[in-house]
A and B are shown apart, each in its own frame.
Chain A
Amino acid sequence: AQSVAQPEDQVNVAEGNPLTVKCTYSVSGNPYLFWYVQYPNRGLQFLLKYITGDNLVKGSYGFEAEFNKSQTSFHLKKPSALVSDSALYFCAVRERPGNAGNMLTFGGGTRLMVKP
């Protein structure tokens, strides 16, 4: 079975400072990893994904994430936070082909609060 853990319910950061939102995963094989963001009363928006290749992936709105296989982590990062980044962030995993489900398993979410 696949699972995702987001150990922090909330992350607080000052505008202009770097931010990190943590994610660890568990799958029996190799993973596909995703980050989504959810703004109030809106659907989930795709930020970035790791499929294969370079462990550092870059996504929308200046976000990036680093895949670390040995630590089974896929932390989301941004060098300089904006107040408009304040939202709910979800990490998700899907096991590579071999699992017929193709479903995404999501973490519980981390609320990012960026203060001016």
Chain B
Amino acid sequence: GAGVSQTPSNKVTEKGKYVELRCDPISGHTALYWYRQSLGQGPEFLIYFQGTGAADDSGLPNDRFFAVRPEGSVSTLKIQRTERGDSAVYLCASSLFAQTDEQFFGPGTRLTVL
């Protein structure tokens, strides 16, 4: 079956621009997560959705970052006024139920801010 997909695979933008990153989770998975992975580090949590609502957004670094999941399936991570420090691989994951199930990760979007 289809796994988690993310688009685009690569995104190059200029400092100050706005970007949107899309995640399409595995069909039927109610939980969706965004993580950010910088070079040489493990993924760091950004935000978690249960259904349409953001159940935990404590990992978002500042108010330039925002994410939505309006129909409980596809999610979009939005970054305003990008900065060079935002450059990283943005990973999306989904799971059936939040508690004990493993998270299935997408291939990531590599964001480069020039």
Contacts and interface: CB of A to CB of B under 8 A. Distances in A.
B108 A43 contact: yes
B4 A34 contact: no
A63 to B, nearest CB: 14
Nearest to B97: A102
Nearest to A47: B102
B104 A46 contact: yes
A43 B4 contact: yes
A103 B55 CA distance: 10
B103 interface: yes
A49 B108 CA distance: 22
Given A102-B55, A102-B98, A103-B59, A46 B42 contact: no
Interface stretch (B43-51, B71-79, B80-88): B43-51
Nearest to A35: B102
Interface string A88-104: 00101000110011111
A94 to B, nearest CB: 8
Interface in A50-85: 51
Nearest to A91: B42
Interface residues of B, number: 28
B31 interface: yes
A46 B104 CA distance: 7
Nearest to B110: A41
Interface in A5-57: 32, 34, 36, 41-46, 49, 51
A71 B41 CA distance: 24
Contacts of B48: 101-103
A109 B33 contact: no
B58 interface: yes
B91 A49 contact: no
Interface string B96-107: 001110111111
A90 B91 CA distance: 14
Given A43-B106, A51-B100, 18 more contacts: A32-B100, A43-B91, A43-B107, A44-B91, A45-B105, A46-B102, A100-B55, A100-B56, A101-B58, A102-B55, A102-B98, A103-B59, A104-B35, A104-B43, A104-B45, A105-B45, A107-B42, A109-B42
